[in-house]
Amino acid sequence: MSISDPKPNGPVERARALPLDDSDSDLTRERESTMLRAAMAANVAGQRIFHSLDERLGDDAHEAICRVLVADDDEATRELIASTLRASGYDVEVATDGHEAVELVARGGFDVVLLDAVMPRMSGVDACRTIKGLRGDDFTGDVPVAMIFAKTDTKSRIEALKIGADGYVCKPFEQTELLVCVSSALRTKRAQDALRATRARLERLRSYDELTGAHSFAFLHDRLASEFEKASLHAEPLACCILDVDGLKVQNERGGRSHGDRVLSGIVEVIKSSVRDTDIVARYGGDEFFVMLPATHFAGSLVVASRIWRDVAAKTFSGSNAAASRASNADQAGVHDAHVTVSVGVALYPSRDVRTKEALLGALEAALLEAKRKGGNRLCVFQQEGFIYTPSAGAPEI
């Protein structure tokens, strides 16, 4: 059964075109509210209300229950709209004016907001503008807003669309028209949520190495610049380390690439357990890691680097997997428990030869190169005038 707006006769049409004073406006609003209630009541009386969104909105029924806020100062209209939405599976909360609606939306948790255009204290258009401008930790300002207008209110409809309203319906409207309007707003919400999730994933891919969970090289590049600027501005020390995994190629050949990946991930776990939450651990290359230690002096950097160097050597990296563990011959099955070592280069800003970020990176590379040149499994520190100091050589004591 379809309930539409009764067609007005000629004199009524001409009367609508004339300017309305306040009393005429109130009468018009009351008439529209009465017509809306009559239309929706007739629709409800003439047909059963579908209790499943599947019958009305197809695939939308399979989504989680959505919360809708209905704001209208006319109690009868407000409750009629709310009951219609509840009967179709929505979780509905109501507000009596635009100001209350804004307060409720600011708390978060709504998927769609339905606002009457004309309300006391704050109009629906002003409420829509405010909601679209909300920002906060728990609210991003992108909740879809649908407006309810009188058919004659063209100016307000245009203004609402300009400020970002996601849709509207005009009084009087059918039950199906209301549900389709809300469903369309929900599709907008899902698209916004999917876009936000994609952005978050891209940001994580940019900021973190997916294999090891360490920060990425791109993140390190940006963070090193900011930390170096901070250290220079506040005259604070900035210590950095580069770690290179000794013989990773051998581990890959013995246990397969997956075993080598487990070694890299395990080394990151050791590094993270040895540093503060404010320190930065990043993947610097295929088998290299970068550790940034803000506000850390020379002695402190040596303590951290030495701890990492020894803890990595003490860790057992298991190459077993579920299938291999059931095999009778471990060697044939490819099971390898291994110990690995790392070579570590350390440099500090500021020092006599380290006055720029580029000089700091050059000093780190020089220290690591010296550690590898002397056979690996050692810690080398770049000191003033390019002098390389090796505080300990050979295998660490375990």
Give the tens place of pLDDT for each residue, 269-302: 999 999 999 999 999 988 999 999 999 998 999 9
What span, in angstroms and rounded, lies between the C-alpha atoms of 243 and 263? Answer: 13
Give buried/exposed letters for 246-269 (b at 16+ CB in 10 A, else e). bbbeebbeebeeebbebbbebbbe
What's the angle, vertex CA 87, arms to CA 83 and CA 90, rounded to 5? 90
At 390 the pLDDT is 61
pTM above 0.85, yes or no: no
- The reported pLDDT for the residue numbered 133 is 83
Confidence of residue 392 (pLDDT cuts 50, 70, 90): low
CATH 3.30.70.270 maps onto the chain at 217-392
Q: What is the mean pLDDT of residues 104-120?
A: 90
Per residue in 12-47, pLDDT (tens digit) is 333 333 344 555 455 455 545 544 544 454 444 434
Tokens of 93: 């909360």
The mean pLDDT value for 197-202 works out to 90
**Please, what's the b/e burial string for 58-92 (b: 16 or more CB within 10 A of its CB; e: otherwise)?**
eebeeeeebbbbbbbbbeebbebbbebbebbbbeb
Name residues whose C-beta falls within 8 Å of residue 203's C-beta, 6 or more positions apart in sequence. Answer: none
What fold is seen in the domain 10-201? Rossmann fold (3.40.50)
Token pair for 34: 């009465």
Mean confidence (pLDDT) of the chain: 79
Report, at the CATH architecture level, how domain 217-392 is classified: 2-Layer Sandwich (3.30)
pLDDT digits (tens, 9 = 90+) for 143-191: 899 989 887 778 877 887 888 888 888 888 888 889 999 998 888 888 8
Residues of the chain with CATH 3.40.50.2300: 10-201
